[in-house]
Amino acid sequence: MSAANSAILVVDDNEDNRYTLTRRLKREGYENLTTAEDGRQALDLLGTQRYDLVLLDVMMPGMNGYEVLERMRADRVLRHIPVIMISALDEIDSVIRCIELGAEDYLSKPFNPTLLRARVGASLEKKGLRDEIVRAVQRMERELDKAREIQLSMVPREFPIPTAECPIEVFAVLEPARETGGDLYDCFWIAPEKLCLAVGDVSDKGASAALYMARTKAVLRVMATAAAQAGRVPAATELVDRVNSELSTDNNHAMFVTLFLCMVDVRTGQLEWCNAGHAAPFLLAPAGGVTAIAMGRSFPVGIRDPLTHASGRIALAPGESIFLYTDGVTEAANEREELFGDERLTCALRAAAGRSPQEIVRAVLHEVRSFAGLAPPSDDIAALACRWRA
């Protein structure tokens, strides 16, 4: 931070001290100088103008240096402005107290020109470095916010509207624990009568997981589209195998994703599923019955090729729903580090059974948030519900 661009506030009730300090600072090239006669005037100036450094006298009538320093450190904006305390040689105990309150440094009266130059220069250099770090963090936060928006735009926001010809209803939510995350869901038509549903959980969190999540979703769509263009609907296991083969190629960082994928025939309610290391979904009966689909948990996709994944078929009864989720739901922790767990999830689903997919998903997330309280999210969350209304 250059001397010409540095704004310095000198606070001292003694006019001679103010004159001496400002004169010596001007000799060092500091031109943007302001003076204040007491603590209240200093705080007024700090509230209306930007300063890079404050030279603050300890002993002043009215509001002394301690009070000014305490006010500054309690203020969200002013707390980052470095403060050099000004004291007489016999006030060293006061200086120690000020350093403990958050002062950057101190200067003794009478002022030594060499110490003045060194301590002002060092404080301003620290301020410049701190400001650069803040700007870098703000740039990163803006970029991560954009990345979050882009990631959330990658998952479907519009879902099938149930009709007499297409009696299927779907709703899903994705909530990254950080700015970006590795959970995913998807919902798309793979044939006029078959709806493909998928929920996955990448092995990591943050930006790397978000990139792998995007790759996984893109590969899933590409493989499904290629099969459809060839004039046939692939089995759920075939589609998962193709995704696994692609993700296993050039996977130098050894990342993987647990994946549950199913195909729902909207005409009959038949559901064909394939599970690659993911938590078993739940079936919700209209009357309130909740059961986990019995299935083996095979290896996640991306570990190696080839792999065999658990698969099967079930028939949805009219009004029955299936609930897919990632372990961010059951592993959500509260302030006592207790986990939400399968039992609480089952209770939440039982209370919401028979309601619409949107109500089911939102009810579960409400219970998770209520349980977690003020504890920060520990993992990403994806949740999807689908009801066959025939």
Nearest CA among 90, 49, 50, 96 for reference residue 69: 96
Q: What is the 3-state secondary structure (H, E, C) of the chain?
A: CCCCCCCEEEECCCHHHHHHHHHHHHHCCCCCEEEECCHHHHHHHHHHCCCCEEEEECCCCCCCHHHHHHHHHHCCCHHHCCEEEEEEHHHHHHHHHHHHHCCCEEEEECCCHHHHHHHHHHHHHHHHHHHHHHHHHHHHHHHHHHHHHHHHHHCCCCCCCCCCCCCEEEEEEEECCCCCCCEEEEEEEEECCEEEEEEEEECCCHHHHHHHHHHHHHHHHHHHHHHHHCCCCCCHHHHHHHHHHHHHCCCCCCCCEEEEEEEEECCCCEEEEEEECCCCCEEECCCCCEEECCCCCCCCECCCCCCCCEEEEEECCCCCEEEEECCCCCCCECCCCCECHHHHHHHHHHHHCCCCHHHHHHHHHHHHHHHHCCCCCCCCEEEEEEEECC
Say if CB 25 and CB 33 are below 8 A apart: yes
In this structure, the answer to whether residues 135 and 206 fall within a common structural domain is no
Structure tokens that stand for 266 in this block: 């909207």
In this structure, the answer to whether residues 80 and 186 fall within a common structural domain is no
The total of other beta-carbon atoms located within 10 Å of residue 285's CB is 15
Q: Is 66's pLDDT higher than 70?
A: yes
Supply the mean pLDDT for the chain: 90
In this structure, the answer to whether residues 107 and 15 fall within a common structural domain is yes
What pLDDT, on the 0 to 100 scale, is given for residue 90?
63
pLDDT digits (tens, 9 = 90+) for 230-256: 888 899 999 999 999 999 988 888 899
- For residue 140, the domain's CATH number is 3.40.50.2300
In this structure, the answer to whether residues 116 and 213 fall within a common structural domain is no
Residue 190 lies in a domain: yes
Q: Is 338's pLDDT higher than 80?
A: yes
Domain that holds residue 315: 155-388
Q: Between residues 208 and 262, which one has the greater pLDDT?
A: 262
Structure tokens that stand for 150 in this block: 């882009």
pLDDT digits (tens, 9 = 90+) for 129-185: 888 988 898 898 888 888 778 888 889 999 988 888 889 999 999 998 876 788 999
In this structure, the answer to whether residues 307 and 378 fall within a common structural domain is yes
Phi, psi (deg, nearest 5) at residue 107: -130, 140
Residue 3 lies in a domain: no
Contacts with 271 (C-beta within 8 Å, 6 or more apart), sequence order: 262, 263, 264, 265, 313, 314, 315, 316, 322
pLDDT digits (tens, 9 = 90+) for 5-28: 889 999 999 898 899 899 999 998
In this structure, the answer to whether residues 193 and 122 fall within a common structural domain is no
Q: How confident is the model at residue 1 (pLDDT cuts 50, 70, 90)?
A: low
Q: How confident is the model at residue 2 (pLDDT cuts 50, 70, 90)?
A: low
Phi, psi (deg, nearest 5) at residue 235: -70, 160
In this structure, the answer to whether residues 250 and 127 fall within a common structural domain is no
Sheet with 270-276, strands from edge to edge, namely 183-191, 194-202, 257-265, 270-276, 310-315
In this structure, the answer to whether residues 233 and 307 fall within a common structural domain is yes
What pLDDT, on the 0 to 100 scale, is given for residue 356?
95
Q: Is 91's pLDDT higher than 80?
A: no
Residue 183 lies in a domain: yes
Residue 38 lies in a domain: yes
What pLDDT, on the 0 to 100 scale, is given for residue 142?
85
pLDDT digits (tens, 9 = 90+) for 179-220: 678 899 999 999 989 999 999 999 877 788 888 898 999 999
In this structure, the answer to whether residues 159 and 140 fall within a common structural domain is no
Counting residues of the chain whose pLDDT is more than 90, the rounded percentage is 57
**CA pseudo-torsion sign 291, 220, 255, 329:** negative
- For residue 214, the domain's CATH number is 3.60.40.10
Residue 213 lies in a domain: yes
Which of 144, 165, 191 is the last residue in one of the domains?
Answer: 144
Q: CA of 384: how far to CAs of 180, 293, 348, 363, 368, in Å?
A: 19, 15, 14, 12, 15
Say if CB 279 and CB 199 are below 8 A apart: no
Structure tokens that stand for 199 in this block: 């929920």
What pLDDT, on the 0 to 100 scale, is given for residue 113?
86
Q: Is 308's pLDDT higher than 70?
A: yes
In this structure, the answer to whether residues 300 and 359 fall within a common structural domain is yes
Residue 302 lies in a domain: yes
Q: How confident is the model at residue 325 (pLDDT cuts 50, 70, 90)?
A: very high
Nearest CA among 225, 177, 170 for reference residue 329: 177
What pLDDT, on the 0 to 100 scale, is given for residue 206?
79
In this structure, the answer to whether residues 268 and 211 fall within a common structural domain is yes
**CA pseudo-torsion sign 143, 145, 149, 154:** positive
Task: State the first-to-last Cα distance of the chain, in angstroms, to the nearest integer.
Answer: 71
What CA–CA distance (Å, rounded) separates 312 from 111? Answer: 84
What CA–CA distance (Å, rounded) separates 64 from 88? Answer: 14
Which of 144, 166, 185 is the last residue in one of the domains?
Answer: 144
In this structure, the answer to whether residues 359 and 222 fall within a common structural domain is yes
Q: How confident is the model at residue 267 (pLDDT cuts 50, 70, 90)?
A: very high
Residue 300 lies in a domain: yes
When divided into structural domains, the chain yields a total of 2
What pLDDT, on the 0 to 100 scale, is given for residue 97?
83
What pLDDT, on the 0 to 100 scale, is given for residue 100?
86
Bridge partners (DSSP) listed for residue 56: 11, 85
Q: Are strands 168-175 and 257-265 parallel, antiparallel or unpaired?
A: unpaired
What CA–CA distance (Å, rounded) separates 370 from 365? Answer: 8
Q: Between residues 321 and 180, which one has the greater pLDDT?
A: 321
